[in-house]
Amino acid sequence: MKVIFFGVRDSEVQFFEKLKNKYNYELTLAQGVLTLDRIDLIKDHNCVIVRGADKLDKTLLQAIKDQGVEYVFTRTVGFDHIDIPTGHELGFKMARVASYSPTAIAELAFSLAHSLSRKSAYWAYQSVNKNFKMDQYGFSKELKNSVVGIIGTGRIGYEAAKMFKAFGCEVLGYDIKPNSNFEDVIKYVDLDYALANADILSFHMPYIKGQNDKLINKELISKMKDGAILINTSRGQIQDEQAILDAIKSNKLAGAGLDVWNTEKDYLFKTLDSIDDPVIKGLLNLYPKVLLTPHIGSYTDEAASNMIEYSLDNLNEYLTTGDCKNKL
Mean pLDDT for the stretch of residues 263-269 = 84
Catalytic entry in 96, 204, 235, 309: 235
- b/e string for 84-99 if b means 16 or more Cβ within 10 A? eebbeebebbbbbbee
Catalytic status, residue 235: yes
Cα–Cα dist 224/193, whole Å: 9
Check pLDDT > 90 for residue 267.
no
Residue 265: pLDDT band with limits 50, 70, 90: confident
Strand locations in 75-120 (E):
93-95
214-254 tens-digit pLDDT: 999 999 999 999 999 999 999 999 999 999 999 999 999 99
133-186 tens-digit pLDDT: 999 999 999 999 999 999 999 999 999 999 999 999 999 999 999 999 999 999
Strand locations in 110-235 (E):
147-151, 170-174, 187-188, 200-203, 228-232
Catalytic entry in 45, 96, 295, 309: 295
Cα–Cα dist 230/289, whole Å: 11
Mean pLDDT for the stretch of residues 67-73 = 98
Question: Domains in the chain, please, with CATH?
Answer: 2-100+300-321 (3.40.50.720), 102-292 (3.40.50.720)
Comparing CA positions, the residue from 96, 50, 97 lying closest to residue 69 is 50
Check pLDDT > 90 for residue 80.
no
**Beta pairing, strands 26-29 & 253-258:** unpaired
Q: Which value, in Å, is the radius of gyration of the alpha carbons in the chain?
A: 21
Mean pLDDT for the stretch of residues 280-287 = 96
Catalytic status, residue 264: yes
Cα–Cα dist 200/112, whole Å: 11
Comparing CA positions, the residue from 216, 273, 223, 259 lying closest to residue 240 is 216
Catalytic entry in 12, 159, 241, 264: 264
What is the pLDDT, as a whole number, of residue 266? 85
- Residue 44, CA atoms < 13 Å, CB-side half-sphere: 4
Check pLDDT > 90 for residue 36.
yes
